[in-house]
Structure 1
């Protein structure tokens, strides 16, 4: 069984699962939104993978929850989800990644060599951004129902919550910056796209478009998987085990 360590690295709260003895490679994950490092560690522990699996809390979530909790988060999101949530969360999480990895290497028995990165949903946008920045030596990436383009997700939320989002020049600039289909040429790593067959087209169609634009990518459709890998209570969904197996096998090949 993996050893479990909780703490912060360069200010980033984490849950780490790793071998009891000896050095091992590093895999970093960012959870779906909403959620937490704790829930990601429970749903996708990758227990059969000989590696340190370090699950980070996104800004505004987990141990970094805003004062006022989810009520404050939803207030910000309802005012302008793109500018108040998507941009600051993605930018901060990507920017703090190199320093967090550097500190983890000092504190955990992480072997030399490139790391793996995993992102789910909004955490997938962080993983995409980290992969394109290439500020840390990365072996490969895995994305689980990632946000690949913002406008389809915004439109899906409009349908779901019966609201209208008013695009501005600033929010369109953010959407353009985080359009990873447009930026397909910036990816230099092998990518695994794990997509739920039952997820919304706002997730599935952009992921398929990115896959078509890349030569070093695999796309796997998981039967029965909708968007989440953990439920509202934080328990793994019925399809989480299948996703966990895919991630484990992917990083066994690439680390």
Structure 2
């Protein structure tokens, strides 16, 4: 909310917390997350947080409609950072809610990408199992570009990626953009954009990066 107030976007903004984080953290906070991570990253962290966030969207929209915040046929815009970006991509692929536009920032492109980041951070190999492989398939954005780009017109998607992101590297974003580009018809090419932000790190802490991000995000939502 502090980083992206989006005051220039004439819409109702709703900031949804990820499951198990922030005010939704379990008793024990960070230590509880570490225990989950040590138990099984895929089933204890990625699935409840990322898949869980995407699954919560229909209920969130139902509540917004009940409060008179949106009409039944209105589409929403989504923003997601890191694991939240993976949740946005999954929501785009599964089409459980009507989405007109989306912005993802330094996003995981699925379980495989997140496990790669986990392995790099911990220097420990992840013990894959059948359930994790299936979850990886379901959440692989590159593998589901046909579903993400489905619809007429397809979702207007802005991919913002920091070139200095050592956690989720720029290759993830460029590969996703290249795969999606092949699915967007020429008439819809402007609805897909990749911004490689020079020098931006994963957590986007620099004031200049925040300013650029606010401008890019606000302009995208206003345009689409």
Which TM-score bucket, shorter chain as reference? Answer: 0.7 to 0.9
Partner of 2:164: 198
Alignment gaps of 5+ in structure 2: 185-190
In the alignment, the residues of structure 1 paired with residue 111 and residue 207 of structure 2 have an alpha-carbon distance, to the nearest angstrom, of 25
Deviations 1:56-108 (A, max 9, x none): 01110122111111110111012211111101222221112111112123325
Aligned position for 2:42: 82
SS of 1:75's equivalent in the other structure is helix
Q: Is the Cα–Cα contact under 8 Å of residues 49 and 248 in structure 1 kept in the other structure?
A: yes
Report the equivalent of 2:26.
66
The answer to which structure has the higher strand fraction is: 1
Cα distance in 2, alignment partners of residues 241 and 108 from structure 1: 32
| Alignment correspondent of 1:182 | 143
CA distance in 1: counterparts of 2:114 and 2:45, whole angstroms: 13
Q: What is the distance in 1 between the residues matched to 2:113 and 2:70?
A: 38
Q: 1:211 maps to what in 2?
A: 177
Shift of residue 208, structure 1, vs aligned partner: 1.0
The structure with more helix, counted as a fraction of residues:
2
Structure 1: gaps (5+ residues):
1-40, 231-235
Seen in structure 2, the aligned counterparts of structure 1 residues 92 and 240 have a Cα distance that, compared at 3 Å, is same
Separation (CA, whole Å) in 1 of partners of 2:40 and 2:69: 42
TM-score by length of 2: 0.86
Instruction: Give the TM-score taking structure 1 as reference length.
Output: 0.76
Distance 1:202 1:109, change over 3 A: closer
Is the Cα–Cα contact under 8 Å of residues 76 and 99 in structure 2 kept in the other structure?
yes
1:124 to 77, 85, 88: 85
